[in-house]
Structure 1
């Protein structure tokens, strides 16, 4: 203790108080106060978008870095334990890993590179691994069997839902038929056109089918809701529109035809060299039965884009016929004979006037244009034409009026040529 007391510095009672420390404290206080009040000194030089103080630039560590041999050994142990590589060589130089060898597939190749990149103290990876081009039939068989097994299991799990969706579709088909039949029954009592009845019935069936398909989809896939299904349809509407442009075109054309086009079931029409009876008009196409019995299926868009002749739009049609008499006959007398013959036919409409006009000077006869009215159906026209031609022939024969056939009069300047021809004709006649 005495020694400690001796080493302890002595305190001079006459020493003044430490005023220098107080002065230093005051100067420090005013300096800090000045720095806080000065905008230039108190301004934060960092910004919210670029905080360089909190995120230092990446650097390559120098101290505490694993040796290259340790990295190589660790990666080699990992790769060898997997059993996915052959002739594998791993080399590390200054933190740069080089991989060489053969991987059994592309997935394991990518896995090896990813493991090397995530290894501590690895700076970069040089990938020289190759993929084995040979096909492993056993592994492929296992993959296929696994996929089939998962499909079968998924089908068995969803089979009750699929059966329920099939039942929904069957009910939908039944309801569509019943509603279509009821619509036709109800509207037939109001004397609507058959085509308009078909339009309402088909639109009702389409609406029921849309509702049924949405319901079946929701039943088969519980995660699918009607709103999601409609969203998917909305997203794919552009692609569907381009893919099925012709179908939609025929659909809307069929609606226009069924709504207010001037022909209906049972009418005879002509379009694009097709003449026949309209048997059925659907949303997409029109069935036309030809005059020879063949059935033509015409897209509705063609009926809207091309000219259509409705042969039975009126109950009667006018038929024209050319009839010739010899130049030696009385024109007016022949006209009256033909008129009486046409008027006497049963298929000619008596309320309509039979028109007989001298039309032209032909090579061997004076031709008359005969016009009369009969039924508008093709069969009615053929029967009426047959009856009128036969009646005209009988009447002209009975009246002694000649119906000439075409003949030629040849005049030769050299009489010897005419004599030779005449003699040859006479000889051939006698023989």
Structure 2
């Protein structure tokens, strides 16, 4: 008996659902058409943003982010309107309130993710550094070549070949040294000469030797050679010059400059001293023989 009463009840429920679906079919069709129009509008606006970004010469990653944000905004508005069409009792204000509460909960749960996302947007927009720059965050022991910048993290390739994936919040909240912001960078070494050598002659020899090195950019800034200090076994000169800003440029130029200075000092007979150590020993105490004791004679 229960099965006999259950079947008509089930058929009645299905009939009500079908009747409601038929009554709501115009609204559902309108919502589907609106979603299709939203998709088309998102594509058109994305293409428009891409063209405007190219004219403004924005970097590719920033252009992709702007296209993504534009699409999200269009889809948000389109879906809200579609929901109100299908469910007339749900107003846009109620939908936005529900969405706002959900966004707040998501923001608290994924605070670090959104923090890195916003930092990535600001980095892409302000462009404090770009792909191909050599940067360093000394407080976090991060240094290398920027290979990729996304809205969440940046990929840094160290000089030893290892890749570091750095959250954008770290790069945004800490001082970042952009070593390749300019094409040239200053570097320096310390050169010591013996105390018996003429300081002015040695300075001139060192300066001429550095000026003849191809990697030295004396067209940007002049070479500087200053007597710096009295060391233990030498008078030290600080030699400063400008060369390429990449780490390999610095190492290569320093190698050439050291070799040129050594060769020039040797040719002019100027001594490059090495530390001297003088060992002084106290005079030995005189040795006296103790008198023999009587019992030793026995």
TM-score by length of 2: 0.71
Residue number among 366, 371, 374 corresponding to 2:235 in the alignment: 366
1:206 and 2:74 are equivalent in the alignment: no
Match in the other structure for 1:267: 133
Report if aligned partners of 1:268, 1:310 keep a CA contact under 8 Å in 2.
Answer: yes
The one of 249, 264, 281 equivalent to 1:380 is 249
1:27-54 per-position Cα deviation (integer Å, ceiling 9, x unaligned): xxxxxxxxxxxxxxxxxxxxxxxxxxxx
Distance 1:184 1:331, change over 3 A: farther
How many residues were matched structurally?
246
Query: Quick check: 2:156–2:164 contact (8 Å CA) kept in 1?
Result: yes
Give the whole-Å Cα distance in 2 for the aligned partners of 1:185 and 1:293.
Answer: 36
* Residues 60-91 of structure 1, C-alpha deviations (whole Å, 9 max, x = no match): xxxxxxxxxxxxxxxxxxxxxxxxxxxxxxxx
Question: Which residue number in structure 1 is paired with residue 23 of structure 2?
Answer: none
Q: Which runs of 4+ in 1 moved over 2 A?
A: 178-190, 197-201, 209-219, 222-232
- Report the equivalent of 1:400: 269
> Match of 1:4?
none
The correspondence for 1:346, drawn from 214, 223, 229, is 214
Pair 1:285 & 2:153 matched: yes
- 2:204 aligns with one of 312, 327, 336: 336
1:211-249 C-alpha deviation (Å, 9 max, x unpaired):
457868969xx6597936544321222211211111221
Decide whether the 8 Å contact of 1:184 with 1:198 is kept in 2.
Answer: no
Structure 1 residues 181 and 317: alpha-carbon distance in aligned structure 2, compared to 1, 3 A threshold: farther
Q: State the partner residue of 2:182.
A: 314
Change (3 A) 1:268 1:183: farther
- Once the two structures are TM-superposed, the CA of residue 209 in structure 1 deviates from its matched residue by 4.3
Shift of 1:293: 2.0
Using the TM superposition, give the Cα deviation of residue 184 of structure 1 relative to its aligned residue in structure 2, in angstroms.
4.8
**Unmatched runs of 5 consecutive residues or more in structure 2:** 1-27, 286-298
SS in 1 for 2:242: strand
SS at match of 2:210: helix
Q: Using the alignment, how far apart are the partners of 1:326 and 1:415 within structure 2?
A: 34
Query: Which is bigger in relative contact order (C-alpha 8 A, separation at least 6)?
Result: 2
Retained in 1: the 8 A contact 2:45–2:70?
Answer: no
Please say if residues 50 and 67 of structure 2, whose CA atoms lie closer than 8 Å, have aligned partners that are also in contact.
no
Q: 1:399 to 1:184 in 2, by over 3 A?
A: farther
Task: Tell me the alpha carbon deviations over residues 297-335 of structure 1, each in whole angstroms, 9 at most, x when there is no partner.
Answer: 111111121111111122211101111111121111111
Question: What SS does the corresponding residue of 2:165 show, helix, strand or coil?
Answer: strand
1:16 maps to none
What corresponds to 1:250 in structure 2? 116
Q: Is the 8 A contact 2:218 2:241 kept in 1?
A: no
Contact 2:217 2:243 in 1 (8 A): yes
Residue 200 of structure 2 aligns to a residue in which SS?
helix
Select the structure of larger CA radius of gyration: 1
Map residues 155-194 of structure 1 onto 2, 5 A cutoff: 183-184=49-50, 186-190=52-56, 192-194=57-59
Aligned to 1:146: none
Aligned-partner Cα distance in 2 for 1:415–1:348: 58
Structure 2 CA distance for aligned equivalents of residues 198 and 181 of structure 1: 15
